[in-house]
Structure 1
Amino acid sequence: MVKIYSFKNLSFILVSLSLLALASCKKEHHTTVATPTKLGLYAYSSSIYKELGIVISKVGTQNLDSLLVFDTGSGGMVIDATNILPASMISTSGFVFTGDSTVVDGITLTNQTSSIAYGVDSATTETVYGNLAYASVTIGDENGSIVIKRLPFFLYYKAVDSQNNILPAHEFDVFGVSSEYDLQFSNNVNITSPFSYFDPGTGLTKGFKMSAIGTSDYSYLGTYVDALTLGLTSDDLSGSSGFSFATLSYYQGDGYAPVIPGTVTYNNKSFASYVLFDTGTEPYSYLEDPTYAGSGTNLLPTNSAVSVSTTSGFTYSYVTSATENLTNVENPGTANGNETVFGLEFFLNNEYMIDFTDHKLGLKNN
Structure 2
Amino acid sequence: MTTKHLRFTSKLIGCLLITVAFFSCKKDKTTPQTPTITPVTLGLYEYASGVNKRIFLPVTQVGTKAVTYYTVFDTGSSGMTLDATDILPASMITSAGIQFTGDSVVVNGITVTSTKGTISFGDQLSSTKEYGNLAYANITIGDAQGNLTLKRVPFFLYYKIIDETGAQLQAHASDVFGVGPGTSYVTSLIQSPLRNFNTGTSLTSGFKLATLNKSLFSTSGTYVTNLLTIGLNNSDLSSAGFIMHPLAYSSSGGYSPNIPATIAYSGKTISGQILFDTGTPSTTVIEDRLATNAVGNLPANSTVTITTNKGFVYTYTTSSTGNLTEVQNPNNTGDYRTIFSLDFFISNEYLTDYGNHQIGLKNN
Q: TM-score if structure 2 supplies the norm length?
A: 0.88
Quote the residue 2:156 is aligned against: 154
Quote the residue 1:259 is aligned against: 258
Where 2:56 maps in the other structure, the secondary structure is: strand
Deviation digits for residues 248-301 of structure 1 (CA, Å, limit 9, x no counterpart)? 111112011211100011112111000000000011110001111225x71111
Quote the residue 1:71 is aligned against: 74
- Structure 1 Cα separation of the partners of residues 36 and 306 of structure 2: 37
Paired residue type of 2:307 = S
Instruction: Check whether the contact 1:179–1:196 (CA below 8 A) recurs between aligned residues.
Output: no
Quote the residue 1:46 is aligned against: 49
- Structure 2 Cα separation of the partners of residues 235 and 184 of structure 1: 35
Distance 1:62 1:304, change over 3 A: same
Deviation at 1:33, TM superposition (A): 4.5
Q: Does 1:280 align with 2:274?
A: no
Instruction: Check whether the contact 1:204–1:233 (CA below 8 A) recurs between aligned residues.
Output: yes
Distance 1:50 1:27, change over 3 A: same
Q: Does 1:290 align with 2:293?
A: no
Q: Which consecutive aligned stretches of 4+ in structure 1 deviate over 3 angstroms post-superposition?
A: 26-33
Comparing 91-100 with 297-306, greater Cα deviation is found at 297-306
Quote the residue 1:320 is aligned against: 318
Deviation at 1:35, TM superposition (A): 1.9
Q: Percent identity?
A: 47
Deviation at 1:29, TM superposition (A): 8.9
Bigger fraction of residues in helix: 2
Distance 1:95 1:190, change over 3 A: same
- Structure 2 Cα separation of the partners of residues 211 and 322 of structure 1: 25
- Structure 1 Cα separation of the partners of residues 277 and 200 of structure 2: 28
Deviation at 1:123, TM superposition (A): 2.1
Paired residue type of 1:308 = I
Instruction: Check whether the contact 1:34–1:200 (CA below 8 A) recurs between aligned residues.
Output: yes
Cα RMSD (Å) of the superposition? 1.7
- Structure 2 Cα separation of the partners of residues 290 and 136 of structure 1: 44
- The partner residue of 1:88 within 91, 112, 119 is 91
Deviation at 1:91, TM superposition (A): 1.1
Structure 1, unpaired ranges of 5+:
1-25
Structure 2, unpaired ranges of 5+:
1-28
Distance 1:80 1:29, change over 3 A: closer
- The partner residue of 1:179 within 162, 178, 181 is 181
Structure scoring higher RCO (CA < 8 A, sep ≥ 6) equals: 1
Q: TM-score if structure 1 supplies the norm length?
A: 0.88
- Structure 1 Cα separation of the partners of residues 269 and 129 of structure 2: 33
- Structure 1 Cα separation of the partners of residues 292 and 219 of structure 2: 39
Where 2:112 maps in the other structure, the secondary structure is: strand
- Structure 2 Cα separation of the partners of residues 342 and 52 of structure 1: 15
- Structure 1 Cα separation of the partners of residues 109 and 34 of structure 2: 35
Figure out how many residues of one structure are paired with residues of the other and give that number.
335
- Structure 2 Cα separation of the partners of residues 315 and 329 of structure 1: 20
Quote the residue 1:138 is aligned against: 140
Quote the residue 2:246 is aligned against: 247
Deviation at 1:84, TM superposition (A): 0.7
Quote the residue 1:336 is aligned against: 334
Instruction: Check whether the contact 1:183–1:190 (CA below 8 A) recurs between aligned residues.
Output: no
Paired residue type of 1:244 = I
Instruction: Check whether the contact 2:151–2:196 (CA below 8 A) recurs between aligned residues.
Output: no
Quote the residue 1:363 is aligned against: 361
- Structure 2 Cα separation of the partners of residues 171 and 133 of structure 1: 19
Where 1:196 maps in the other structure, the secondary structure is: helix
Q: Does 1:62 align with 2:57?
A: no
- Structure 1 Cα separation of the partners of residues 267 and 107 of structure 2: 57
Paired residue type of 2:216 = D
Distance 1:28 1:313, change over 3 A: farther
Quote the residue 1:4 is aligned against: none
Where 1:183 maps in the other structure, the secondary structure is: coil
Quote the residue 2:191 is aligned against: 192
Deviation at 1:305, TM superposition (A): 0.8
- Structure 1 Cα separation of the partners of residues 227 and 324 of structure 2: 24
Distance 1:91 1:30, change over 3 A: closer
- Structure 1 Cα separation of the partners of residues 113 and 141 of structure 2: 22
- Structure 1 Cα separation of the partners of residues 94 and 344 of structure 2: 39
Quote the residue 1:168 is aligned against: 170
Deviation at 1:352, TM superposition (A): 0.3
Quote the residue 2:105 is aligned against: 102
- Structure 2 Cα separation of the partners of residues 203 and 82 of structure 1: 39
Deviation at 1:184, TM superposition (A): 5.0
Between structure 1 and structure 2, the one with the greater Rg is: 2
Instruction: Check whether the contact 1:286–1:327 (CA below 8 A) recurs between aligned residues.
Output: yes
